[in-house]
Amino acid sequence: MTTYDWLLFAHVTGAFALLGGAVAAAVFSLSALRRERPSEIAVLLGLTRVAVVAVVAGSILTLVFGLWLVHEAHYGYGDGWILAAIALWIVGSVTGEAGGRRDARTRELAERLAREGDAATSELRARLRDPLSLALSYGSGAAMLAILVLMVWKPGA
């Protein structure tokens, strides 16, 4: 195998980890929305932290090996599709991290309520359905899907 093949393998592996982790985190978060008991909500939101490990690892692998691939394949770092992918990577990472911080506070509230009798409150329900948290999470996912489209299509390459 050539250097290009190894770099592509590492880059695609990172993409699978990133997207797989993002899908798993979304499934756990959406499942938490359907639960009533804080203990169940806390477990599901806790599982998102495991998925986030895959997202972070995948993010690093895709960026590092993607930039290395740009060099190896003799693309230009100033090509529009590459700049757009980097910008979307930054947007997706920042919005995902911001949404994750908000979800962590929701998980902490669910854990506290689980210890105090396992009864849901209106505050917990409101945090689970917080429009800003949902927009940040969905926005991050949309940015990552847009990167995937750019990587497959490579407009202008």
Residue 143 · residue 91 · CB < 8 Å = yes
How many angstroms separate the CA atoms of 141 and 135, rounded? 10
- Residue 132's pLDDT is what? 97
Greatest Cα-to-Cα distance within the chain, rounded to the nearest angstrom: 61
Instruction: Look at residue 79 in the predicted model and tell me its pLDDT.
Output: 94
CA 72 to CA 81: how far, in whole Å?
Answer: 16
Distance CA 108, CA 5 (A): 44
| 81-84: Cβ within 8 A, 24+ apart | 81/150, 81/153, 81/154, 81/155, 81/156, 81/157, 84/150
Closest by CA position to 12, among listed 148, 157, 155: 148
Q: pTM to 2 decimals?
A: 0.90
Residue whose tokens read 């689970």: 128
Q: Which residue has the tokens 């911001």?
A: 98
> Looking at residue 157, what is its pLDDT?
76
Cα–Cα distance measured from residue 124 to residue 17, given in angstroms and rounded to the nearest whole number? 30
Instruction: Round to whole Å and give the CA distance between 33 and 53.
Output: 22
pLDDT per residue rounded down to tens, the chain (157 residues) = 999 999 999 999 999 999 999 999 999 999 999 999 999 999 999 999 999 999 999 999 999 999 999 999 999 999 999 999 999 999 999 999 999 999 999 999 999 999 999 999 999 999 999 999 999 999 999 999 999 999 999 898 7
Q: Which pLDDT does position 133 carry in this prediction?
A: 95
Residue 156 has a pLDDT of 81
Tokens in use for 156?
């202008």
